[in-house]
Amino acid sequence: MRKLLYFLAAVCLWTGCSDEYDDSAIKGDIDDLKDKVAALEQQIASLKQEATKINNDIAALKDIADGIAITKVTENADGGYTVTFSNGKSYTIANGQKGDQGPQGPQGPEGAACTPMMRIDSEGYWQVSYDGGTTWEYPGGEKISALGQTGATGDQGAQGQTGATPQISVDSEGYWTVSYDGGKTFERMKDAAGNEIKAVVSEGTGNVSYKSVFESVSYSAENSTLQVVLAGTTEVLEIPVGGAALAQLYAGENPVEGVQTFAAGETKSYTVKAPTADMVKVVGYPDGWTVALKEMTLDVTAPAAQSRATADSATDVSLLVVMKNGLATVLRMQVAVDGTAAPAVPLATPVVTLTPASVTAVTEQAVVAAWEAVANAASYKVSFNGAAATTVTEAAYTIAAADVKALAKGEYKISVVAVPADAVAYTESAAGEATLTVTEATTPPSGEVKTYTLIAAEMHSAGTTGIPGGSSGVVDMGDTFTTWTWNSFSFESRCALTTTGQADGTKVPVLYFYKTSKVAAGTLIRNTTALGEIQKITITLVDNGAKKGELFSMVETVNGAEQTVQSANHTQSSCEHVYTFSAGNNGKFVFSNPSDQDCKVLSFVIEYK
């Protein structure tokens, strides 16, 4: 740097000593540079005017996307419209894609230039086009929400984040810039490849013009609707103006139109749509009618005797809707009774579940079908496997164990029909169905030893057994059992399938048999599907949960009599306990924890033949 300064100083001294030095070329370059700077400054000023028009369109599009009600539309002399929203803001929207031609600027510096266009995609994110709407991309490749984020749910959810409204400008070097924080900070706009976007036009041209985000705009005073087509689309958006924009009644997905006809005594529900409503109140309805408003749902019930509301406001169903900004409108709906009785309504279809949903052939085990009680039902018709229906009054039905045992391999349907208490107002429901699957028995050949395992990690990963996941679920069971099936064999249990820590601090899935001080009814597991003749059962506990075998109980059944099986470590603490069963047992076991110490089992390995 110092050498450069010395050089410049020497040049200045040398030139200053010559009377014949010609500096006209340098002066010409300086004048040319001044002209280019002036041209750039004028062009940037013109582009900032263009940016103002773009920002006007963006703000209007944002209010439309946010559902802000349009209260007034005024047609301008140039064919455009001034649109006033319920938040007090007004925007001038050009009717047609191309906006007014900007002023003629002086010759600008060479470079590729374009005018950005903004729109909101179907997912509510801002998109930008740098080629007049031919292609669209996310600003800088980043998705920026235009509509904001919903707050958390709950008793009082946190307020959601407000969607960003971009503001566009031009910096001193002729590049487009954008702000997403209300104009506090600006950054240069970039395309998806990270390239900064020039705002200057090519050398030799100086015209600047913008393309509106609105392809076309028209207003129908007769229908009180503003019809908008966005750039790059052909879909016509019809936006209500005036009272209908502030609030409207809907029947299903359609706005309420004309007289609403009811049968005598019939009830219909309507939805009040008023995005910025502060208060909605029923202010009138015809004599004999019942009207109830809960949140934004309006239930209207016709009288039993025929009645007809007239167009007079004293007899219409009328709602007063007051907006947060103080504007108000009255919704009116004319109603009539056609003289017929209200049509009978079908009851809701029962949703049936089976416990267990699958059994092994020749297993003598009852299966329980259950369903939620159906509103306005007096009883239920239950049919299993095509047999004649049985009427029950409770929301459950038990298929007897003997009937289940008699079923061959296959699938068997059970159907439940809800029967109404009031046969005039309601009809029977459609049949709710569930399927019981009977699998083939897997008794091994005589003399061949087979192995069956209950591994807590595999069961926990599958997550389909229905065993409670903690002590509270087990306590809530009282003296009942969880019935479940694993690898074609059925079980009953009163224990948890959860995780616990080992000696090294890692957590592993276990079958958790709680101590009696926590579960008064005691914890246990037993198979209801016989496993041939059990040879032995090996139980493995967690590595930091060694226990004496005498704390637990293992029971077998031989010749119809139950008897206790002791582990090899009956009086010694161990993480593994082996129970050897007697010959001639019926293939079933019961393992329980009658002690006041927890038992955490990693696996049951059952050898049988």
- Is residue 130 located within the same domain as residue 186? yes
Higher pLDDT, 243 or 507: 507
- Is residue 210 located within the same domain as residue 295? no
pLDDT for the residue numbered 313: 36
- Is residue 598 located within the same domain as residue 534? yes
pLDDT for the residue numbered 209: 53
For range 176-202, the mean pLDDT: 81
Domains in the chain: how many in total? 4
DSSP 239-261: EEBTHHHH-EEEETTEE--SPEE
For range 173-180, the mean pLDDT: 84
Q: Which of 439, 459, 494 finishes a domain?
A: 439
Domain with residue 564: its CATH number is 2.60.120.260
Residue 569, in any domain of the structure? yes
- Is residue 261 located within the same domain as residue 126? no
Domain with residue 329: its CATH number is 2.60.40.10
Tens-place pLDDT, residues 364-390: 888 999 999 999 999 999 999 989 999
Burial 74-108 (b: 16+ CB within 10 A, else e): eeeeeebbebbbbeeeebebbbebebeebeebeeb
Tens-place pLDDT, residues 143-155: 887 765 433 333 3
Q: What are phi and psi of 445, to 5 degrees?
A: -60, 155
The residues, any chain, with a CB within 8 Å of residue 70's CB and separated by 6 or more, are 64, 83, 84, 85, 86, 226, 239, 240, 241, 242, 245
Q: What are phi and psi of 32, to 5 degrees?
A: -65, -40
Distances (CA, A) of 216 to 227, 230, 237, 480: 8, 7, 10, 70
Higher pLDDT, 571 or 47: 571
Residue 20, in any domain of the structure? no
- Is residue 186 located within the same domain as residue 313? no
Burial of 29 (0-12, 13-18, 19+ CB in 10 A): exposed
Tens-place pLDDT, residues 509-520: 999 999 999 999
- Is residue 330 located within the same domain as residue 395? no
Cβ–Cβ < 8 Å for 80, 57:
no
- Is residue 381 located within the same domain as residue 275? no
pLDDT over threshold 60, residue 201: no
Residue 315, in any domain of the structure? yes
- Tell me the three state secondary structure of residue 456: helix
Q: Which of 341, 359, 384 finishes a domain?
A: 341
Residue 26, in any domain of the structure? no
- Is residue 334 located within the same domain as residue 349? no
- Is residue 499 located within the same domain as residue 587? yes
Residue 185, in any domain of the structure? yes
pLDDT for the residue numbered 36: 59
- Is residue 333 located within the same domain as residue 367? no
Domain that holds residue 316: 247-341
- Is residue 365 located within the same domain as residue 322? no
Cβ–Cβ < 8 Å for 502, 508:
yes
- Is residue 196 located within the same domain as residue 263? no
Residue 27, in any domain of the structure? no
Confidence of residue 6 (pLDDT cuts 50, 70, 90): very low
